[in-house]
Amino acid sequence: MWFAIFKALLSGVIIMAISEIGKRSSAFAALVASLPLISVMGMVWLWGETGDRSRLADHAEATFWYVLPSLPMFLLLPALLRSGVNFWLALALSCLLTTLLYLIMVWVLPRFGIRF
């Protein structure tokens, strides 16, 4: 139980740090946010808790595929904000795009033999 609390706190600290860094430098905060820190921590914890090579390999590969449909969100959101769209609406539309792309990916990739 304590380890779960530690993991949650550490993840929260990283998010808070990105937010605080962003107040001083958007570019540096974006760099920190783009680092796969949470993914790496998740893999380390998964390895430490299971030691299962196959599960970790599956996790890493699935993470790659799930990152791809999320990338367009980081282009749509700034475009909408710069065109004057309200933040919450822009965020909702960006999340909707990501959700649609996830659904398309989950439907298309198995047709190419990619399972996750």
Task: Output the pLDDT for position 16.
Answer: 92
The whole-angstrom separation of Cα 32 and Cα 38 is: 11
- % of the chain residues with pLDDT over 70: 100
Spatial separation of the C-alpha atoms in residues 39 and 23, rounded to whole Å: 24
CA 99 vs CA 62, 91, 107, 114: distances in Å: 16, 12, 12, 19
| pLDDT (average), residues 71-95 | 98
The mean pLDDT value for 83-106 works out to 97
Question: Each residue of 31-75: pLDDT tens digit?
Answer: 888 888 888 988 999 999 999 999 999 999 999 999 999 999 999
pLDDT bucket at 80, cuts 50 / 70 / 90: very high
- Domain edges within the chain: 57-116
- More confident: 47 or 29: 47
